[in-house]
Structure 1
Amino acid sequence: QVESQRFKSILTDIADKVNQGSSLADSMAPYPKVFPQLYVNMIRAGEASGALESVLFRLAEFLDKQLEIKGKVNSAMVYPIVLSVLGGVIITVLMVGIVPKITGMFTDMNAELPWNTKLLIFMSDLIAGWWWALILGAWAAIWAFRRWRRTESGQLVGDTIILRLPVIGELVRKIAISRFARTLSTLLSSGVQLLQALDIVRSLLGNVVLEKVITEARDAIREGENIAPALKRSGQFPPLVTHMIAVGERSGQLEQMLGDVATAYDRETNTSIQRLTGLLEPLMIVVMGVGVGFVVFSIMQPIMQLTEMAGT
């Protein structure tokens, strides 16, 4: 039972084509946005080997694992995002609603204000008077950044920086390695040839630096080299991973060894997510505290100075 009318019509079309004699893979291929290349090639290999049922089972397990990892990453980011939004709202309310009323008193008294209070007044006036320009500028900056990230140079520079970031880069690399190993293991177990499997895996990593590594490894394999040395030469895959893959190649159990790599890196991913969450939560609290503290201190400092002057 399918609720989406579009998906229902696609399934109806696929069923009609299968009834007319087309293979399931060929019937799914015209809908790449619904059934990616990974699905189509696995099913084609399953049909060719007569093991379609087991291939579909592997595909279901694979998708379930990918959704599990994605869910954990999204869950880890919810709390920091909520804190960021809450902190932004609090500071905006202070800057627009409270600061102008209090700092107006200082201006009327012609009091000499410290630099941080002057900065606070400037920021408050900027937000209150030019909020539309700030929103427009932020939107334009985000648009320009996203447009640049779609370019070849933007993807390469951005993904290189991401991989070098502490904690975050480590998490991105582990997720990519887990996805690489699990996908390649699933494809090879389903009967897909190694070179074709690498072409499919490459498009699923989500990082052009690692995609380039897989492309170079595929080219090296085409010339007769094994996959492990090609991956090791890039420096992007940890020695443990390349060693396990080399053992799998020598023993003829590459699919099993890749599955073990994926399982190990799933655990590593969970550990990195916990570390990232443990780092981001106190960091966001500190950032919020510093922001609110700056506003409060910048208001209270001239008040205390005026009180001291009045007392003398």
Structure 2
Amino acid sequence: MMEFRYRATDCHGKRQQGQLSADSAREARQRLREQQLLPQSLEPVTARATREHALKHRDFVLMMRQLATLTSASLPLAQSLQALENQCDKPRQKALLHTLRQQVLEGSSLAEAVARWPKTFTPLYRAMIAAGEASGRLDRVLEQLADYSEKAQQLKSKLLQAMIYPLLLTVVALIVVGILLTAVVPEVVSQFTHMRQQLPATTRLLMQLSAAAQQYGALLIVLVAASLTLFRLALRRPDLRLRWHQRQLRLPVFGRIVLNLNLARYARTLSILTHSAVPLLESMAISAAVLSNDFIRQQLQQAADRVREGATLTQALDETRLLTPMMRHMIASGEQSGELDAMLKRTADIQDQAFMSQMTLAVSLFEPLLIVVMAAVVLFIILAILQPILQLNSLTG
């Protein structure tokens, strides 16, 4: 059976578009006519085009919440997908829902159906859906999936908002200094070249910096861009990336930020998977896979191996030496009380708060530091310009 994308008009002349499954183009046209639709165009959907359907985060969260609501009302899954498809006006999402419904009607589980859409449904999402279907709690799992995705996006947005202003301030500062050295300073200091007495050291240094910026400024920009490009290419090698990520954790302030961000993500992912009744070893493997730091991921994958050998979760994680004392205590309490998922969720909330506090502190320290540096640069330029003028006035006076 093939997938076809169609454009058609109904009996009222209203345009319709979407996808349908059929054994041939002829059968697809026949099905459209049976639905009182007049085909305008019909083309097969290639496997590549299907794979490239990736939903926006907001659309994905809304779709999961709506599907959770419909399934909680005891509506059959295929019928729930059909209802969402009928009300959807976005081609990509409509195509996704149509394909999922067709695969469910053909006998696939929802977990098997979403596995064909890896860009939209990550291994974490697929494992949660499979666990939800197996336990008969698909509606709750879908709601949790939407909450998890929304929480992750909120954290990402907060991080982006925290970084925008410092980055913008840095770029503006570099541009201002560049303009001063290449355009303003040369015009001013050229007036001092006719002076017979020796210029002050600050003025001579400023003139040298200005000349260097004019002569080698473009080359410096190219070298910086090339260095960054080479650095990014080097990080494609797993061994170099692992070493770099390990060194990140040793950096003051930044290392703690990276650690807290990854630990919060790990704890939250592990919490939602264990709550969805996914086996612990599978949960640990998936939770480690979502991390951005390769070194932390490696350590937590080794912790999963220790659990497989018979160690408790607390013992295995404690051997990584990544956990804070509070995090270790809460996970141990969760294991002993049988409420591991709840304690992991609380741990993730605490780590999120620690991450945001450290991020806010770093930004609040960086901004005044950059302003002080800029003030020092401007003060140096002003002194370098004023000193020859004052020296000339003292000689003429």
Asked if Structure 1 and Structure 2 have the same fold, meaning a TM-score greater than 0.5 normalized by the shorter chain, the answer is: yes
Contact kept in structure 1, 2:268 and 2:348, CA below 8 Å: yes
Alignment of 1:133-212 (within 5 A): 133-212=219-298
Kindly indicate which of the two structures has a greater share of residues assigned to helix: 1
Q: Deviations over 1:193-221 (max 9, x none)?
A: 11111111112221112111111101100
Structure 1: tracts of 5 or more residues without a match:
none
Higher strand share: 2
Matched with 2:210 is 124
Residue in 2 that maps onto 1:106: 192
User: Is 1:35 matched up with 2:121?
Assistant: yes
Match of 1:303 in 2: 389
Of 299-308 and 230-239, deviating more is 299-308
Residue 88 in structure 1 maps to residue 177 in structure 2: no
Change (3 A) 1:14 1:111: farther
What is residue 67 of structure 1 aligned with on the other side?
Answer: 153
Relative to the length of structure 1, the TM-score reads: 0.92
Tell me the equivalent position of 1:238: 324
TM-score (norm 2): 0.73
Letter of the 2:221 partner, please give it.
Answer: I
Aligned to 1:97: 183
1:77 match: 163
Alignment partner of 1:293 is 2:363: no
Could you tell me how far 1:41 is from its partner in structure 2?
Answer: 1.0
Deviates more, 1:122-131 or 1:47-56: 122-131
- For the 8 Å contact 2:303–2:319, the answer to whether it is kept is no
Residue in structure 2 matched with residue 247 of structure 1 by the alignment: 333
SS in 2 for 1:21: coil
> Which deviates further from its counterpart, 195-204 or 145-154?
145-154
Larger Rg: 2
Q: CA RMSD in A?
A: 2.0
Read off the aligned partner of 1:271 and give its amino acid letter: S
Deviation larger for 46-55 or 65-74: 65-74
Task: Mark the CA change 1:303 to 1:160 in structure 2 (over 3 Å): closer, same or farther.
Answer: farther
Tell me if structure 2 keeps the 8 A contact 1:232–1:239.
no
In the aligned structure 1, how far is the partner of 2:210 from the partner of 2:137?
Answer: 67
Question: Compared with structure 1, are the counterparts of its residues 190 and 301 closer, same or farther at alpha carbon in structure 2 (3 Å cutoff)?
Answer: same
| SS of residue paired to 1:164 | coil
Q: Are the equivalent residues in 2 in contact too, given 1:229–1:242 (CA < 8 A)?
A: no
Alignment CA distance shift 1:18-1:121 (3 Å): farther
Structure 2 counterpart of 1:22: 108
> C-alpha displacement at 1:261, in angstroms?
0.6
Change in Cα spacing, 1:5 to 1:119, as seen in structure 2 (3 Å) is: farther
The answer on 1:278 being equivalent to 2:334 is no
Given candidates 117, 137, 140, the residue that maps to 1:51 is: 137
Offset at 1:246? 1.4
Call closer, same or farther: CA 1:4–1:114 in 2, change over 3 Å.
Answer: farther
Match of 1:218 in 2: 304
Percent of matched pairs sharing the same residue: 37
Q: Distance in 1 between matches of 2:168 and 2:182?
A: 21
Task: Confirm or deny: 8 A CA contact 2:300 2:320 kept in the other structure.
Answer: no
Measure how far apart 1:2 and its partner are: 6.0
Letter in 2 for 1:61: D
